[in-house]
């Protein structure tokens, strides 16, 4: 078991100082996705933030294991770029 | 009157029944005289298992317990929380097979009464039979409120609602209501109860603390401001039927 910490930024930053013990990175990724799903269910508008919702999953040593990004893409922006 | 230590479980059970039903002193004496034994379980021990049959009704004298069901993949849902004074298996008087698991949340002391003795009591004393039914109905009402809580309230209101409910249910049998320092519920257990991830539970506890609704000491939780907690949960205690017998 490894302890993972799930820090979020969705306009404001929330620092997870408790963490959750999980089997491995795969389990942590699932947990992060479920957590993000829960946050979205509470407040679907967070996808409209400038940078959407970002969940940084960090190990006990403080290094980033991976991040999950949930954001809405503006189709006009896609067109301009093309 | 000084209660005998051996009767503690039946005393608190009686107090619980009297919180929603009127019973004559004669009926009360009949309950206090129920033959019983006592058993202790440690935290996490199974008290009842799905698929079993039971011929006893355990009554929770002290500690907390929960009913849970799990999917084949191991996803667990806590479907009811039982507090001191609660009878844990009235339903086996009426249905044959236990349809869920019952586990100790904390170390628990149980007062065990044979269902045959309960059956004799409800057959000969209509007011007690009625109180048993009211008790079962209130548990069903709490279940309906939990469905709403899990299905439609956001994390903050959901957790606030659970804490309000525990507070008011505990007030029926003790003066000070909720002090979760006696209920060491882990993030994981709260997550299994509220259908949220443990991380989300932790974040929500922090938010409740920031708003002054709760106070935390390490793992323990205490009500900080019940009015604030009620407002966050939009809590009404109607479904608990706490003044059922008041006119």
Task: Judge contact between B35 and B117, C-beta under 8 A.
Answer: yes
ipTM of model: 0.89
User: Can you tell me the distance from the alpha carbon of B163 to that of B180, in angstroms, rounded to the nearest whole number?
Assistant: 9
Q: What per-residue confidence (pLDDT) applies to B4? A: 44
Strand partners, B87: B59
CA distance B198 to chain A (A): 7
Is B37 contained in some domain? yes
Residue B39 covered by a domain: yes
Check residue A78 and give its pLDDT. Answer: 65
What per-residue confidence (pLDDT) applies to A58? 97
Enumerate the residues of chain A whose CB falls inside 8 A of the CB of residue B206.
14
Shared domain check, B125 and B94:
yes
Looking at the structure, tell me whether residues B38 and B66 fall in a common domain. Answer: yes
What are the pLDDT digits (tens) for B229-241?
Answer: 999 999 999 999 9
Domain holding B210, by residue range, is 153-240
Taking contacts as CB-CB distances below 8 angstroms, the residues of chain A near B158 are: none
Please report whether residue B246 resides in a domain: no
Domain boundary among B118, B144, B170: B144
**Considering only CB atoms, which residues of chain B are within 8 Å of chain A?**
154-156, 187, 196-200, 202-203, 206
Assess whether B159 and B93 both reside in one domain.
Answer: no
CATH of the domain at B190: 1.10.10.10
Q: Which pLDDT score, from 0 to 100, does residue B131 have?
A: 96
Q: Model pTM?
A: 0.90
> Are residues B169 and B139 part of one domain?
no
Rounded to a whole number of angstroms, the distance from the CA of A35 to the nearest CA of chain B is 6
* Number of residues that make up chain B: 247
By Cβ distance, the residue of B154, B196, B202 closest to A18 is: B202
Tell me how close the Cα of B195 comes to any Cα of chain A, in angstroms.
Answer: 9
Q: Alpha-carbon distance B183 to B219, whole Å?
A: 10
B197, A38: Cβ pair inside 8 Å?
Answer: yes
Distances B142 to A80, B34, B129 between C-alpha atoms, Å: 55, 28, 20
Q: Indicate the pairing of strand B76-82 with strand B65-70.
A: antiparallel
Write out the residues of chain A at the interface with chain B, using a CB-CB cutoff of 8 A. 6, 8, 14, 16, 18, 20, 31, 34-35, 38-39, 41-43
Please report whether residue B247 resides in a domain: no
B171 against B2, higher pLDDT: B171
Same domain, B89 and B127: yes
CATH, residue B126 = 2.60.120.10
Interface contact flag, A35 B187, Cβ < 8 Å: no
My answer on whether B119 and B168 are in the same domain is: no
pLDDT for residue B216:
82
Chain A partners within 8 Å of B155 (Cβ)? 38, 42
Chain A contact probe: residue of B158, B197, B206 with most A CBs at under 10 A: B197
Q: What is the pLDDT of residues A43-57, one digit of tens each?
A: 999 988 888 999 999
The total number of structural domains that make up chain B? 2
- The per-residue pLDDT for range B59-103, each reduced to its tens digit, is 999 999 999 999 999 889 999 999 999 999 999 999 999 999 999
Contact A38 B202 (CB under 8 A): no
Domain end call among B144, B167, B187: B144
Q: What is the pLDDT of residue B219?
A: 67
**Residue B222's Cα: distance from chain center in Å?**
18
Query: Would you say residue B28 lies in a domain?
Result: yes
Are the CB atoms for B46 and B81 separated by under 8 Å? no
**B245 inside domain:** no
Q: How far is CA A81 from CA A76, B54, B59, B190, B193, in A?
A: 9, 69, 69, 46, 47
Q: Among the ranges A47-56, A68-77, B147-156, which has the highest mean pLDDT value? A: B147-156
In this predicted structure, the answer to whether residue B247 has a pLDDT above a threshold of 60 is: no
User: Are both B175 and B79 inside the same structural domain?
Assistant: no
- Best B75, B199, B216 residue to mutate vs chain A (most A CBs within 10 Å): B199
Spatial distance between the Cα atoms of B178 and B145, rounded to a whole number of angstroms: 19
- Same domain as B199, residue B88: no
Question: How far away is chain B from the Cα of A38, in angstroms, using its nearest Cα?
Answer: 7
B99 in the same domain as B13: yes
Of B112, B144, B176, which residue constitutes the final position of a domain?
B144
In this model, does residue B208 exceed pLDDT 70? yes
Same domain, B139 and B157: no
Domain annotation covers residue B208: yes
Order of strands across the sheet with B46-48?
B46-48, B101-104, B65-70, B76-82
Task: Based on the fold, state whether residues B121 and B138 are members of the same structural domain.
Answer: yes
Residues of B in contact with A53 (CB under 8 A): none
**Four-point Cα dihedral B159, B191, A20, B229, nearest 10:** 10
Residues B132 and B164 grouped into a single domain = no
């Amino acid at each position: 078991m490894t302890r993972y910490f799930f820090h979020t930024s969705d306009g404001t930053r929330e620092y997870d100082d408790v963490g959750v013990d999980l089997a491995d990175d795969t389990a942590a990724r699932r947990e992060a996705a479920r957590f993000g799903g829960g946050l979205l269910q509470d407040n679907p508008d967070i996808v409209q933030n400038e940078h959407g919702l970002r969940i940084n999953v960090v190990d006990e040593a403080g290094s980033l294991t991976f991040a999950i990004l949930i954001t809405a893409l503006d189709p006009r922006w896609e067109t301009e770029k093309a | 009157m000084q209660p005998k230590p051996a009767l503690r479980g039946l005393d608190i059970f009686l107090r619980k029944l009297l919180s929603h039903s009127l019973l004559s002193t004669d009926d009360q004496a009949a309950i206090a005289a129920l033959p019983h034994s006592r058993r202790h379980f440690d935290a996490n021990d199974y008290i009842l298992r799905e698929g079993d049959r039971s011929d006893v009704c355990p009554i929770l004298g002290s500690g907390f317990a929960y009913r849970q069901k799990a999917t084949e993949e191991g996803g667990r849902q806590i479907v009811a929380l039982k507090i001191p004074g609660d009878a844990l298996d009235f339903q086996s008087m009426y249905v044959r097979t236990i349809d869920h698991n019952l586990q100790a949340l904390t170390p628990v002391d149980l007062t065990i009464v044979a269902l045959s003795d309960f059956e004799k009591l409800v057959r000969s004393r209509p007011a007690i039979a009625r109180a048993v039914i009211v008790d079962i109905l209130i548990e069903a009402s709490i279940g309906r409120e939990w469905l709403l809580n899990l299905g439609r309230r956001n994390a903050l209101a959901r957790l606030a609602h659970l804490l309000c409910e525990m507070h008011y249910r505990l007030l029926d049998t003790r003066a000070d209501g909720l002090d979760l320092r006696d209920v060491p519920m882990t993030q994981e257990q709260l997550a299994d109860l509220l259908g949220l991830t443990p991380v989300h539970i932790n974040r929500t506890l922090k938010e409740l603390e920031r708003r002054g609704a709760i106070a935390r000491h390490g793992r323990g939780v205490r009500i900080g401001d019940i009015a604030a907690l009620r407002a966050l949960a939009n809590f009404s205690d109607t479904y608990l039927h706490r003044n059922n017998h008041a006119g």
